[in-house]
Structure formats: structure tokens, C-alpha cells
Structure 1
């Protein structure tokens, strides 16, 4: 039977480690003294555990609802949807331009796409890339909903573009070429948003229904500080704990911590990385049926069971070891006085 997963501490001692159903690992925290507080250097680690419209605890960072925080350096939030809507005569009804100005976060280039939806639509995404202004966009057009193909986002009713790695301080806008006059009956709005790619599958129904989706899931990358590991290690505010590895990030400032092989837990706590007992479950080690597992700090080794010895590659049966499947037969020849054992 597989051993139950061990729950290692994720927050500072005596600090809340959950808000609603979202776990809050350090350096994040919900109360004073429980999160990394040097905002001038580190950014934003305070999670506001507020109450939503349904009376349930809701973690927020800035203006964004948080749905997940990982110690691997990702935080999932609900990002606003940009709308540009018109009435049947082409008069504007509503429009907005969402922005994200949390300087310690970058938009995940591997988890998200920038998407525009509409049949009379173009969209722009602007932001800071390596300290310089950067802009990209896409357009989507169609004359009839019959040309729109579900599951396809290649420019007919939907377009998407790759986000460059390291982009931050972003804002984006959905716009219309002709106020949706020719397509208003089935598509009164243009939409633009950054969305977690594996949670988006385009449907023609979105041409109208996305007006009801004010927020959509997005993944941000987070780091600690604005220094490389080499520089940060010599600073008093370096927070990688024991048994950890510090990693620099491409196209991003700051560093991340992770537990060394053979350890797991929260690497941002002083003693957060704790030994994994690889012998606790078969799937954690590669010992064979002729071996038993011996746990060590940060690793393990396999030893031969009684009656077997190692030949350097595997455990083999000892030459004179009793074999339960065999039968010892003693033949006695009295007149020779000789005993034979088989």
C-alpha cells in the first residue's frame, strides 16, 4: 500500500497557512509578521484574506482573486476581461482596458496566451519587457457565425498569440473595426484577455457569452528579490533555507529556491526542506524483491535480503544457502559405510 503523503509546514510558525481552499505558503502570508515584508525590494507578498459575495474566505493580491500559489514560483489569479461592446445602431455601451502593475510578477509565457475573440475585433497587449516598452496584438474577423469553427483560434472569430518571457506591468485593450454593425446579431462585443491556455477551448458561443465572464484564469510567475543568487547569498535578507538550491531566472530579476534532491517542503522556510523517506512507499525507490530499502538523509540505498549477496550489479542467491523449494535427500549405503547427500 502506498504511504500517505506527509504534510510538511508551509507557513511560518503560528501563522495561518490557508485562506478558503487556497494554501498560503511563505513568503506569502495573510497577517503581519507572516509574509516577506520588504516591499521596496521584494514586491508584494501580502495576501488579503477577505470575504466574497457568498460569505466565503477569498484570498486576494491587489485587485485580483487568487486561486492557487505554488512554491515552484507560480500564482494563479482571476484576470479581468477587456470588453468593447455596442448596441444595434453602433453606439458604444461599455469598454475597459485591464492592467496589471504588480512589479514583482511577470506573465507566464509557458502557461498563458493572449487571446482576442470577435468577428470585428483587434486587440493590443502592452507591457514592460527587459526594461523597455513592448507591444503585440492580433485581429479576428468573420462575416457570419457559420464560418466560425469550434476549437480553432486562428483568426476567424478567435486569434491568439504567444506572450514573450519576462513581460510585466501589462495592459491590454479590445477594439472594433466597425462598431460590430455588420455582425451585431451574433457578436455585439470584442473581447481580449490573457488566459491560462489549458483552461481555454474556443467555442462560437463565446462570441456572445464572454460578456458574462468578467474575469478569467491567468498564471503569473513570482521570484524573490531583484538580485542574482550569487549576490543575494551575501545579503541579510536572503531567504533560501537549509538543504536548498538557489536558481536564477532567464529574463526575470530575482531568484527562486528549491529543495535539494531527496528533500521536500517549503524551501523558503529555514528548516522547510525535510528528508523524504524513500522507503515509505515502493514508488519512491527502485529496490527489487531480493532487496530491502535503507533510508538515509537526502537519499536511500538497497541492500540484499538474507540469503542473497551483491555481485556488483544485482542480488544473487548465496551458493550454500538453504532453498525452501528443494528437498534434501540422504542416501545411505551401509555396506560401504558411505553417506551421500543430494
Structure 2
């Protein structure tokens, strides 16, 4: 997706998601994702509650809406936040994958800036922050420095990095991002309302043949491994994958426990306070699976339907229980430590007799003769 203006502004107020339901190896059970009578998908993307595509199907709160704009403008339905695509959501981790614009600052051979340079910014409700565990801020170029700006703990905050290399790029090593052609830095916890931009020290005039542009972007860490080819090819990558953290409300689990009206975690789920920003998340208890934001969304996993889900050994049965299972010995076997061993039949030729006399146990072995 390209741009023809010098500034790309991305205002995000409504957020959409995708959830891929974990499917047990031998179970075909589909857990409910959405509220009753609500759509649970937009195109190929699943839409779980607290998100939804229509009025009455998503959660509303002061800190933001969980509304999905299911956009049909591109030939097939696509969930959108503002003008950005949503590609995935993890209810388990409270993470949302989006496609975010990169900052591109290109020059012609004489050092004049090109007209389609971009400087993106992203403003989201307070329950959304840039993931610090899944993203990096990176700058690419041989004549480049970049800033990442945002709001941190209610105050304006900026960090940056620089990247240099010579015109022949002989010092560049693919796969490394240590300041020669590429630099990257960690993102501070709780950063919101971000904007970032790439700049040049000398308008790329000295390195133009190998690198006519400066690039800056927030990118999902496991999707990025630097290559010297990026010095030119990133001109064609106007958007890159990025991860947002999300949560419910502004209260911690301890605070929301005192105000049950704001608590939405369903049965068989636990509450966990968010570490990257405010709010809390819900998670199904061990042994349960489904959407913990629905009243009865977390349902028992039948661990006995597949050996991949239990550790019962040979000569053991698997008995499912709510939230768990146990492994009793099958008939003809008894427990011996962690194993089940065969019962020993009584001998036909001898009979063991124990007699208790006072404090003493007298053991007799009576041998029978067969005529």
C-alpha cells in the first residue's frame, strides 16, 4: 500500500482482532467465540468477544471501543483499525497483530527529498500499547538516524538510533543490526500515541547508489532479520507487521474485584493484571479452553481423547474430570509407584498363612501334596 503525501496520519479509535481456536488433536468441538447471534468472523479472520462487528456485539468502555470495521472495499472482508489491517489476535496473550506503516525518507541523486516520503503516527485508546516483548524499533540506511516518540507515563518521550555505512557496503553483515546499515532498540514499557521518522545526515548524496533512502519502523521481532538488500528494497515495503498489547479497562485485578460491575472474566477463568500499561486480562484455568471473556466460554478439555493431551501410561485407563483427568490401573493391575504392574495369582502348590499372636506375627508356609 503506497502513499502520495509527505505525512501519513493513522488515527486509531476502534480495534479489531482475529483468534485462531486451539483445536485438540482428536476433538472436533468448536468453542463459542462471540456473543449469541453475533458474527464471529470477518472474512478469514475470527472475531471473538469482547470484539465485534455490529452494535451490541462488542464491549464498550470509556477507554475505548472493541469495534471491528469489517471493510469490504478490497474485494473481500478485511478487519480494520482506522486504515490499518488487523491480521491476528491472541486472547491467550492479549496481543493483536496489525500492519503498520513505515517511515521512508528518500532522495534523488542530487540530494533533493522525494515527494512521497512518510512519517506515520499511531494513536490508540488507553487499553492498547505497543508490545515491548514482540516488537523492535529499527532504522535502516547508510546515512540514517531515526526517532521514536510517544507518551510514557503521561509525559512526552523520545528515543532514537543511527545507522551508517560506506558506499561499497563491504562492512555490512546480513543478519546483524548493530549500527552498520541497520540499528535497532528496545521499546519502553507502556509507550502509547507513537510517531516515528527517519532522517538523513547528508541527504544520502555520498551513498546514493547503494542506499537512496532512510527507513524507520516498528516491526514484529521474529519477522525481521536484516539484509543488505533492504537498503533499497524497503522502498517497496510501505507497511510491516507489528504487535499491540490490549486489555480490559484501566483497573487491576485487585481493583476490579472491588467493582464487580466492570469484571467480565467468565466461569473457570482467572484474572491477570497487565504489566505493559493499565487494565486486566482473562485466561481460562488449566484444563479448560475457549473464550474467557464469555460467561461460560471456558469449557473443560477432555484430555482422554488423545494421547497428546495426557500422560497416562500403558496398563492405565484415562478418566476425564472437570479441569483435569486421572490414570487408574486397568483390571488385573495395581499401582506400584508411578507404574501399574500385574497382580500375582495365588500359588496352587503352597498357601501362605499369617497369624498374629500378641505382638508377634508368625508366618507359616504350608505345602500341599498332590496324590
TM-score norm. by structure 2 comes to 0.83
Partner of 1:333: none
Partner of 1:37: 60
1:2–1:260 Cα change, 3 Å: closer
Partner of 2:256: 232
State the alpha-carbon separation in 1 of the partners of residues 200 and 28 from structure 2.
52
Whether the aligned pair in 2 keeps the contact of 1:247 and 1:256 (CA below 8 Å) is: yes
Whether the aligned pair in 2 keeps the contact of 1:130 and 1:251 (CA below 8 Å) is: no
The SS at the match of 1:236 is helix
Whether the aligned pair in 1 keeps the contact of 2:131 and 2:276 (CA below 8 Å) is: no
Q: Alpha-carbon deviations, 1:243-270, whole Å to 9, x = none? A: 1100012241000000111101000000
Choose which of 233, 236, 244 in structure 2 pairs with 1:209: 233
State the alpha-carbon separation in 1 of the partners of residues 67 and 25 from structure 2.
37
Question: Pairwise mapping of residues 188-203 of structure 1 onto structure 2 (< 5 A)?
Answer: 188-203=212-227
Choose which of 74, 80, 101 in structure 2 pairs with 1:60: 80
- Cα RMSD (Å): 2.0
Whether the aligned pair in 2 keeps the contact of 1:124 and 1:138 (CA below 8 Å) is: yes
The SS at the match of 1:201 is coil
State the alpha-carbon separation in 1 of the partners of residues 193 and 65 from structure 2.
14
TM-score norm. by structure 1 comes to 0.90
Partner of 1:25: 48
1:66–1:287 Cα change, 3 Å: same
State the alpha-carbon separation in 2 of the partners of residues 88 and 313 from structure 1.
74
Choose which of 319, 322, 335 in structure 2 pairs with 1:310: 335
Q: Alpha-carbon deviations, 1:200-251, whole Å to 9, x = none? A: 1111111111111110000000000000112213231311001110001224
State the alpha-carbon separation in 2 of the partners of residues 74 and 230 from structure 1.
22
1:48–1:318 Cα change, 3 Å: same
The SS at the match of 1:93 is coil
State the alpha-carbon separation in 2 of the partners of residues 321 and 105 from structure 1.
70
Whether the aligned pair in 1 keeps the contact of 2:102 and 2:238 (CA below 8 Å) is: yes
Distance apart, 1:2 and its partner CA:
4.5
Partner of 1:110: 133
Question: How many pairs are equivalent?
Answer: 325
Whether the aligned pair in 1 keeps the contact of 2:245 and 2:276 (CA below 8 Å) is: no
Distance apart, 1:3 and its partner CA:
0.8
Choose which of 306, 326, 329 in structure 2 pairs with 1:301: 326
Q: Any unmatched runs of 5+ in structure 2?
A: 1-23, 350-367
Whether the aligned pair in 1 keeps the contact of 2:313 and 2:339 (CA below 8 Å) is: no
State the alpha-carbon separation in 1 of the partners of residues 322 and 346 from structure 2.
33
Choose which of 112, 122, 142 in structure 2 pairs with 1:100: 122
Q: Any unmatched runs of 5+ in structure 1?
A: 323-327, 330-336
Question: Pairwise mapping of residues 86-97 of structure 1 onto structure 2 (< 5 A)?
Answer: 86-94=107-115, 95-97=117-119
Partner of 2:198: 174
Choose which of 133, 139, 156 in structure 1 pairs with 2:156: 133
State the alpha-carbon separation in 2 of the partners of residues 96 and 256 from structure 1.
35
Distance apart, 1:44 and its partner CA:
3.0
Distance apart, 1:24 and its partner CA:
1.2
1:70–1:321 Cα change, 3 Å: farther
Choose which of 70, 74, 96 in structure 1 pairs with 2:95: 74
Partner of 1:16: 39
